[in-house]
Amino acid sequence: MPIDEITQTVSDRYAKAASTGEQMCCPTSYDMGHLKTFIPEEVLRISYGCGTPAGLKTVQAGETVLDIGSGGGIDCFEASRLVGPTGRVIGIDMTDTMLEIARKNAPVVAANLGYSALNVEFRKGLADAMPVEDGTIDLIISNCVINLAPDKRKVFREMFRVAKPDGRFTISDIVSDQTVPQYLVHDTQKWGDCLSGALTLTDYMNGMTAAGFVGIHLVKFSPWRVIDGIHFFSVTLTGYKIPPATTTSLVRHATLRGPFSRLVCERGLTFQRGIPRSITLAEAQLLSLPPFTEYFVLTAEPVRLDNHDPRWSAVLPADAPCTWQGHYALLAGPFVEAADDDHHVYRRGEPLEVCSKTVTVLATNGYQPHFVILNRAGEDVGGEAVTCSPDGGCC
């Protein structure tokens, strides 16, 4: 299907929904009771999304926030409240009907928030050609919109272009656990349903890394729909654009604490738990980002850890039989590869079948934030417990 046709189809679908009040498909979790205190009902009625990127404590006072695919303005207006009168919010959308509604309600929201002037504006534009200056955005948000763009890698490059050197993003979108087949890709109805344009989690995260973002990691996920054995699910991801390292730092070595026994970061560095390795200033800058800090000891001199050190972390599977219940685990960063203490090697975004004992391990604090767990079993599983191989791992 030609890109222009896809874009027009999606725009027409959302314009119609804004006029008719049609409820679009994507799962949402807005606190409507809170939003109703300052956002008009007309906006709330046409709000579509698969997450709440503006409401996850990601927006800071005084920042400049960009919302890609702002629709009727719900996320922009919540961001407007959070950045305060000294901050600024820019919403971009390609649908005139949505822009008209958002612009009409912006003064109402400002008045309800007690602002003397608007701190939000809405611009017409496409996600892959954003009318925004280079390097001007502190935080990029988007709610189930990049999924609808035919060329997502171009969108990721645009995001990197407009972000400040120390900017970041928090976006919610629909992805899949396997490649969407052509009969769905060419289904015009399912483009608007956030299905046909879904990338696999692997391709989505790799596209962001290729654009230049680092530290890309999962904030939350929610299962959504299963079509012909393909699992579609909502993810909220955060990542960073870091400037070239220019300051002097005493950090010259990094030691993996665990619970992973081995990790490969986005720079391609491999870390073995407890064994220090030398790192460059740029690599130290990467490992100092929030999603990495709890997993590493960063020091000037090499520090070796063993299982008697309180900083050492490991989660061993139960010494008992396990069952196969249809679960699959997908690593969702900020590591491109990771290994546990039971011979599993997880590669970012790739589904790996795991047994009941491994599911329990992945539910613990050190693992849980970085995994999507799906169940592909089409019906109840009644298999008997099996004994794990003593030399080949549990699964």
pTM, full prediction? 0.89
pLDDT of residue 395 exceeding 90: no
Residue 256, domain member (yes or no): no
Which pLDDT band holds residue 16 (cuts at 50, 70, 90)?
Answer: very low
Render pLDDT for 22-56 as a digit per residue (tens, 0 to 9).
455 555 667 888 999 999 999 998 877 777 776 76
Residue 180, domain member (yes or no): yes
For residue 349, the enclosing domain spans: 327-375
Q: Which of 240, 262, 291 is the last residue of a domain?
A: 240
Render pLDDT for 82-102 as a digit per residue (tens, 0 to 9).
999 999 999 999 999 999 999
On whether both 24 and 161 belong to a single domain, the answer is yes
Whichever domain contains 144, its CATH number is 3.40.50.150
CA distance 276 to 239: 26
Q: Which of 240, 271, 287 is the last residue of a domain?
A: 240
Residue 188, domain member (yes or no): yes
Nearest-CA neighbor of 92 among 71, 65, 78? 71
Which pLDDT band holds residue 69 (cuts at 50, 70, 90)?
Answer: very high
Residue 199, domain member (yes or no): yes
On whether both 169 and 26 belong to a single domain, the answer is yes
pLDDT of 155 reads: 97
Helix (H) or strand (E) holding 151: none
Residue 127, domain member (yes or no): yes
Render pLDDT for 174-201 as a digit per residue (tens, 0 to 9).
999 999 888 887 776 655 566 778 899 9
CA distance 148 to 173: 9
CB atoms within 10 A of CB 111: 12
pLDDT of residue 260 exceeding 60: yes
Q: Which of 208, 240, 272 is the last residue of a domain?
A: 240
Residue 392, domain member (yes or no): no
pLDDT of residue 6 exceeding 70: no
Residue 97, domain member (yes or no): yes
What is the tally of structural domains in the chain? Answer: 2
Residue 38, domain member (yes or no): yes
Mean pLDDT of the chain: 88
On whether both 221 and 123 belong to a single domain, the answer is yes
Query: Quick one: average pLDDT of 296-320?
Result: 96
Residues 305, 261 contacting (CB under 8 angstroms): no
Query: Quick one: average pLDDT of 228-256?
Result: 90
Which pLDDT band holds residue 391 (cuts at 50, 70, 90)?
Answer: very low
Which pLDDT band holds residue 394 (cuts at 50, 70, 90)?
Answer: low
**Backbone torsion region of residue 177, taken as left when φ is above 0, otherwise alpha when ψ lies between -120 and 50, otherwise beta:** alpha
On whether both 336 and 232 belong to a single domain, the answer is no
Q: How distant, in Å, are the alpha carbons of 202, 275, 278, 295, 335 from that of 292? A: 20, 16, 16, 6, 9
On whether both 335 and 235 belong to a single domain, the answer is no
Q: How distant, in Å, are the alpha carbons of 90, 191, 250 from that of 121? A: 5, 27, 43
On whether both 53 and 154 belong to a single domain, the answer is yes
